[in-house]
A and B are shown apart, each in its own frame.
Chain A
Amino acid sequence: MIDKLKRFNWLMFVAMLALVALGTAAIYSAGNARTEELFHSMWKANLSTAVFGLAIYFVLAFFDYRRYLNLLAAPSYLFSLVLLVAVLIVGTSTYGGRRWLWFFQPSEVAKLCVIAALAWIYGSADERPWLRKFYGFLVALAVIGVPALLILLEPDLGTMLALLPATLVMLFVARVWRRGILTAACIAAIVVSAVLAAVYEAERPGVTEARKATILKFVPLRPHQVKRVKIFLFPDEDPHAAGYTLRQAMISIGSGGFSGKGFRKGETNHLKYLPQSISMNDFIFCVYAEEAGFVGSVVLLALFGTLLVPCVWTAYVAADGRGRLVSIGVSTLVFAHVFINIAMSIGLVPITGLPLPFISAGRTFLVTVMAGLGIVQSVSIHRRENDR
């Protein structure tokens, strides 16, 4: 045990704790701005969830990941599929999506389960070369595809947008049918560009309704998604209706300036200009950046860097393929969330519903991410003996 403690990676642990602290403060500020009393104590709930998450973190960190991945990866994956089906049948609807099962969101848990399953399967690719061929890719497609389909049925596009890069990077690192994956990535890039161009062409001012309808018929997006892409492309067109959220996000982040307005002093949040339904979740970065300013934003990005770089290093020095894959999968998942969330808040990508790890007030997601980082810590503790 002493030996394990010696090999414990303190850097990523401390970065994680610091992020939890910043998140709790941001949730305190965002929650207290809300009219409903219920949310005023949300920061306490976040703290107790973090304590629970820490317990899981330590359990997963100090047990050898090789043992419990072998033992649990497959059952937990199957169990998550059951939960995803269950949520579609008996789940609670909020904001037009069926995402809640009792007190948690199965799609968040499923992300980790998919990563664990992929790591468990492809970590042994060295012994089973066929996994690196086209058929191996088909297996991956099935492992990812089934939960992906179930998540899209909820629907929860944001979760998919974070899970896909994570799985793609894992397959790439595992050298599974690389030619195909690179081709697929290129095709995806072309499709995304084409969709953006089509929406731009359709929503450009001065385009007739008939032409707009014709173009949009070929765009594989729902009307509200087309709207979001449109806001992304033309942010200043309609500041009071569709573009309102992005406009308020930009005002709150931008007006934070260099040093911010101070804790609990963000006007855009406290005067409720930032829509209340999203200020604690998908747009909490606005609350944080308004009060902490550019200095705070850089500190936050640095903390995420301090967390992610040791995670990637852990993947590099992992004792086996499974450890490497699970580490790179979890880090990519976290990175995708961080990047997409902040990028959408500052108008770099279209708005999608997806939380900022540790900062947003999502309890299931917090536990999921801490559990994932616990596994990475375990990989770090049980890394190759000949390294350092």
Chain B
Amino acid sequence: MRSEASIASDLSVLAVGVIFVAGLVALGFRLAQVQLVDAAKHSYDGARQAIRAVQTAGPRGRILARDGTVLADNRASVSIAVNPEGFQRRSWNDTVLAISNAVDAVAATIDIPSSLTTNAIARHVRQQLARPLIVWRDVGDEPIARFAERAAEFPGFTCIETEERVYPEGRLAAHVIGFVGRRETESAGSEKFNFRDKEMCGREGLEAFYDSYLRGSSGELQVTVDARGFAVEKTVLVEARRGPDLRLSLDVAMQRAVERQLRGERGACAVIDPRNGAVLALASAPAYDLNLLVPQLTPEINDRLFRNPRNDYRNRACFETYAPGSTFKPVTALAGLAAGVPPEVSYECTGVFELGGMKLHCARRWGHGPIDMKHAIKESCNTYFSNLGCDIGTNALFSAARAMGLGAKTGIDFPQDSAGVVPSEEYKRSHYDLPWYASDLAHASIGQGQLLVTPLQMARLAGAIGTGFLTRPRLRADSPVERTPLPFSAKNLAVIREGMRMVVDGGTGRLAGDGVAVAVAGKTGTAEVGLGATRRKNTWFIAYAPAEKPTVAIAMVIENGESGGTTTAPKVNAVLKAIFGERETGNGNR
């Protein structure tokens, strides 16, 4: 028998049941909100905290000479790295300590000390926990073998295959090719990536100038990290692609010939094709083996190569500037012709040019007597050109110099491209705090004084005289050709060309043409620098050949030589012989 009361109680039981079901349904609705409506947002939050994007570097492109000779290449290199996730401890300090101890143990096994400090490990753990820490870069086969033998004893350590730069030709064109370093920071500056591989990046020379070209396209690695930041899983999303090869206009045979002549000297040489500006050879001496700078420039190498008075590192071909000396005289002659001075006009050479209290001696102490322009070029008469320069004035002289590309960058595709100096009144006042004297003009007329040029500029200048137009020097083979016609008449240029032919044909540069299969036109130069005990001569020779239709223009400077005609002309001669071959009948260039 059920009472009224117990029925009421039963109904309340059913009410409780309804509440239960309602509660469970409410949870279901809220779960639908979280797991269906907001799922994308929560997934994004989850991915953002657990996924690190790494920008990986592809292999660097090669650098090839014009004939395909490989000048810069990559080689497989093995590095030993430690994965921090193998050393998880309760505290970060213990993790760092564990890694440090393990590194010491491996160091003892492979017998190479580690240069990593505890601080460096701690920094890595703090900032790049998800990435392997490279302890020994570019390890040799023998230590790798020792490591591999006992690798099981060192969990957490792995061999990583990377690529390092290799320069098969060693010293050849060292200053031109340049070298690479490793990017300093691993943290990427972009939104997309958390880390970036410590990839190679060009530090000097063409490696620096064409860095982004050689580097190729980067890849994408996705690292999943746990709550503490240790890497758990790695997925390659985008494979990094190798950078394209860089083909140069450089001719290996010519480069070798040039460097042979520079061996043991301090100096430089530039060889270009005056028709299109292609740089055929560009050398600076002394040079160094580029492979010494792999995997990176160490302080010891830096001291040995670069921090000495010889300064192997200095690029004398297009960074260092020199007084051009008498190689400038063709420019003075062109300026004279342009100013209306006829080439037949003679000046009287007594062996000394006097202006106020200043005396300027000619190479021939007893003088050339009355001498015209072509012969003044042939004999390199100081008196003639000093007189000519003083007659036409500063503006006429220096505008001709600028028209020949001096005092401005050449525009070569290379990081070092010195403009040199074509002086002026303002230049002298601001740099030397002295007024412009008439004697400055006399000095400038013979390529002395404040005038400064690079060998590359002079090679281009020589070529321009031969062809009638100025070209932009270019190292990359498919870099566009740029030519500017000279503002001088063909008739005037012909005078200079003949003078320069005569230099080689029995003039001051006669040694340059000996035995070369083609006719050579050139100009010697002996620039005096310093005073008293430090006084020395930088000896020049500039030339183009064949004289009638030049395909090669060359400029060479040798520091501390005797004279342009005796020191540098024979070296240029050897280079030209290597380029054009030797004349079969040894009857000279007459």
Interface residues of A (CB under 8 A from B): 35, 126, 169, 172-175, 247, 250-258, 267-268, 271-273, 289, 293-294, 297-298, 301, 304-305, 308-309, 312-313, 315-316, 321, 324, 328, 331-332, 335, 338-339, 342-343, 346, 348
**What are 12 A-B interface contacts by the 8 Å CB criterion?**
A172-B12, A173-B9, A255-B46, A268-B50, A271-B225, A271-B227, A271-B232, A289-B31, A298-B31, A309-B21, A312-B20, A348-B27
B1-36 interface bits toward A, Cβ cutoff 8 Å, 1 = contact, 0 = none = 001011011101110110011011001101110111
CB distance from A228 to the nearest CB of B (A): 19
A175 touches B50 (CB 8 A): no
CB distance from B13 to the nearest CB of A (A): 5
B16 touches A271 (CB 8 A): no
Given known contacts A257-B39, A267-B46, A324 and B225 CB-to-CB distance under 8 angstroms:
no
B239 interface residue per 8 A CB criterion: no
Q: Enumerate chain A residues within 8 angstroms of B46, measured Cβ to Cβ.
A: 251-252, 255, 267-268, 273
B364 interface residue per 8 A CB criterion: no
Q: Considering the chains assembled together, what is the distance between the CA atoms of A294 and B20 in angstroms?
A: 20
Q: Considering the chains assembled together, what is the distance between the CA atoms of A173 and B12 in angstroms?
A: 6
In B24-83, the 8 Å CB interface with A consists of 24, 27-28, 30-32, 34-36, 38-39, 41-43, 45-46, 49-50
Interface residues of B (CB under 8 A from A): 3, 5-6, 8-10, 12-14, 16-17, 20-21, 23-24, 27-28, 30-32, 34-36, 38-39, 41-43, 45-46, 49-50, 88, 224-228, 232
Q: Enumerate chain A residues within 8 angstroms of B35, measured Cβ to Cβ.
A: 253-254, 256-258, 289, 293-294, 297
Q: Considering the chains assembled together, what is the distance between the CA atoms of A247 and B237 in angstroms?
A: 28
Q: Enumerate chain B residues within 8 angstroms of A256, measured Cβ to Cβ.
A: 35, 39
**Residues of B contacting A: mostly:** helix
A309 touches B17 (CB 8 A): yes
Q: Chain B residue with minimal CB distance to A334?
A: B20
Contacts A35-B88, A254-B45, A271-B224 known; list 15 others, CB within 8 Å.
Answer: A169-B16, A173-B13, A253-B31, A253-B34, A255-B39, A257-B36, A273-B49, A294-B31, A297-B28, A301-B27, A309-B17, A312-B20, A328-B16, A343-B27, A348-B30
Q: Enumerate chain B residues within 8 angstroms of A247, measured Cβ to Cβ.
A: 45
B31 touches A271 (CB 8 A): no
Q: Enumerate chain B residues within 8 angstroms of A309, measured Cβ to Cβ.
A: 17, 20-21
Given known contacts A253-B42, A258-B36, A271 and B50 CB-to-CB distance under 8 angstroms:
yes
B232 touches A257 (CB 8 A): no
Q: Enumerate chain B residues within 8 angstroms of A301, measured Cβ to Cβ.
A: 24, 27-28, 31
B13 touches A126 (CB 8 A): no
CB distance from A343 to the nearest CB of B (A): 7
Q: Considering the chains assembled together, what is the distance between the CA atoms of A35 and B39 in angstroms?
A: 28
Q: Enumerate chain B residues within 8 angstroms of A342, measured Cβ to Cβ.
A: 27, 31
Given known contacts A271-B227, A301-B24, A335-B23, A251 and B42 CB-to-CB distance under 8 angstroms:
yes
CB distance from A382 to the nearest CB of B (A): 17
A254 touches B16 (CB 8 A): no
Q: Considering the chains assembled together, what is the distance between the CA atoms of A9 and B203 in angstroms?
A: 82
B36 touches A294 (CB 8 A): yes
Q: Enumerate chain B residues within 8 angstroms of A272, measured Cβ to Cβ.
A: 226-228
**9 closest A-B pairs by CB:** A254-B42, A312-B17, A294-B35, A271-B226, A272-B227, A257-B39, A255-B43, A255-B46, A273-B227
Given known contacts A254-B42, A272-B226, A273-B49, A297 and B13 CB-to-CB distance under 8 angstroms:
no
A126 touches B32 (CB 8 A): no
Q: How many interface contacts (CB-CB < 8 Å) are there between A and B?
A: 131
Given known contacts A257-B36, A271-B224, A312 and B9 CB-to-CB distance under 8 angstroms:
no
CB distance from B226 to the nearest CB of A (A): 4
Q: Enumerate chain A residues within 8 angstroms of B34, measured Cβ to Cβ.
A: 250, 253-254, 346
Q: Considering the chains assembled together, what is the distance between the CA atoms of A308 and B19 in angstroms?
A: 11
Q: Enumerate chain B residues within 8 angstroms of A254, measured Cβ to Cβ.
A: 34-35, 38-39, 41-43, 45
Q: Chain B residue with minimal CB distance to A258?
A: B36
Q: Considering the chains assembled together, what is the distance between the CA atoms of A297 and B20 in angstroms?
A: 16
Q: Enumerate chain B residues within 8 angstroms of A343, measured Cβ to Cβ.
A: 27, 30
CB distance from B93 to the nearest CB of A (A): 18
A312 touches B14 (CB 8 A): yes
Q: Considering the chains assembled together, what is the distance between the CA atoms of A130 and B301 in angstroms?
A: 102
Given known contacts A267-B46, A289-B31, A173 and B16 CB-to-CB distance under 8 angstroms:
yes
Q: Chain A residue with minimal CB distance to B42?
A: A254
Q: Enumerate chain B residues within 8 angstroms of A172, measured Cβ to Cβ.
A: 12
B21 touches A273 (CB 8 A): no
Q: Chain B residue with minimal CB distance to A272?
A: B227
Q: Enumerate chain B residues within 8 angstroms of A305, measured Cβ to Cβ.
A: 20-21, 24
A126 touches B227 (CB 8 A): no
CB distance from B10 to the nearest CB of A (A): 6
A126 touches B224 (CB 8 A): no
Q: Enumerate chain A residues within 8 angstroms of B16, measured Cβ to Cβ.
A: 169, 173, 312, 315, 328, 331-332
Q: Enumerate chain B residues within 8 angstroms of A312, measured Cβ to Cβ.
A: 13-14, 16-17, 20
Q: Choose one: A35, A252, A298, A316; the contact of B13 (CB below 8 Å).
A: A316
Q: Considering the chains assembled together, what is the distance between the CA atoms of A257 and B36 in angstroms?
A: 6
Q: Considering the chains assembled together, what is the distance between the CA atoms of A95 and B39 in angstroms?
A: 32
Q: Enumerate chain A residues within 8 angstroms of B43, measured Cβ to Cβ.
A: 254-255, 257
Q: Considering the chains assembled together, what is the distance between the CA atoms of A316 and B13 in angstroms?
A: 6
Q: Considering the chains assembled together, what is the distance between the CA atoms of A253 and B42 in angstroms?
A: 8
Q: Considering the chains assembled together, what is the distance between the CA atoms of A338 and B8 in angstroms?
A: 27
Q: Enumerate chain A residues within 8 angstroms of B6, measured Cβ to Cβ.
A: 126, 321
CB distance from B22 to the nearest CB of A (A): 10
Q: Chain B residue with minimal CB distance to A132?
A: B5
Q: Enumerate chain B residues within 8 angstroms of A308, measured Cβ to Cβ.
A: 17, 20, 24
Q: Considering the chains assembled together, what is the distance between the CA atoms of A173 and B8 in angstroms?
A: 9
Q: Considering the chains assembled together, what is the distance between the CA atoms of A268 and B48 in angstroms?
A: 12
B27 touches A328 (CB 8 A): no
CB distance from A180 to the nearest CB of B (A): 16
Q: Enumerate chain A residues within 8 angstroms of B30, measured Cβ to Cβ.
A: 343, 346, 348
Q: Considering the chains assembled together, what is the distance between the CA atoms of A201 and B590 in angstroms?
A: 108
Q: Enumerate chain A residues within 8 angstroms of B31, measured Cβ to Cβ.
A: 253, 289, 294, 297-298, 301, 342, 346
Q: Chain A residue with minimal CB distance to B39?
A: A257
Q: Chain A residue with minimal CB distance to B232?
A: A271
CB distance from A216 to the nearest CB of B (A): 29
Q: Considering the chains assembled together, what is the distance between the CA atoms of A271 and B41 in angstroms?
A: 19
Q: Enumerate chain B residues within 8 angstroms of A293, measured Cβ to Cβ.
A: 35
CB distance from B230 to the nearest CB of A (A): 9
Q: Enumerate chain A residues within 8 angstroms of B23, measured Cβ to Cβ.
A: 335, 339
A313 touches B3 (CB 8 A): no
CB distance from A140 to the nearest CB of B (A): 16
Q: Considering the chains assembled together, what is the distance between the CA atoms of A172 and B35 in angstroms?
A: 36
Q: Enumerate chain B residues within 8 angstroms of A173, measured Cβ to Cβ.
A: 9, 12-13, 16
Q: Choose one: B5, B9, B17, B49; the contact of A324 (CB below 8 Å).
A: B9
Q: Chain A residue with minimal CB distance to B44?
A: A255
Q: Enumerate chain A residues within 8 angstroms of B21, measured Cβ to Cβ.
A: 305, 309
Q: Considering the chains assembled together, what is the distance between the CA atoms of A289 and B27 in angstroms?
A: 13
Q: Considering the chains assembled together, what is the distance between the CA atoms of A301 and B35 in angstroms?
A: 14
Q: Considering the chains assembled together, what is the distance between the CA atoms of A271 and B51 in angstroms?
A: 11
Q: Enumerate chain A residues within 8 angstroms of B227, measured Cβ to Cβ.
A: 271-273
CB distance from B224 to the nearest CB of A (A): 7
Q: Considering the chains assembled together, what is the distance between the CA atoms of A342 and B17 in angstroms?
A: 19
Q: Enumerate chain A residues within 8 angstroms of B224, measured Cβ to Cβ.
A: 267, 271
Q: Considering the chains assembled together, what is the distance between the CA atoms of A272 and B9 in angstroms?
A: 49
Q: Enumerate chain B residues within 8 angstroms of A316, measured Cβ to Cβ.
A: 10, 13-14, 17
Q: Chain A residue with minimal CB distance to B43?
A: A255
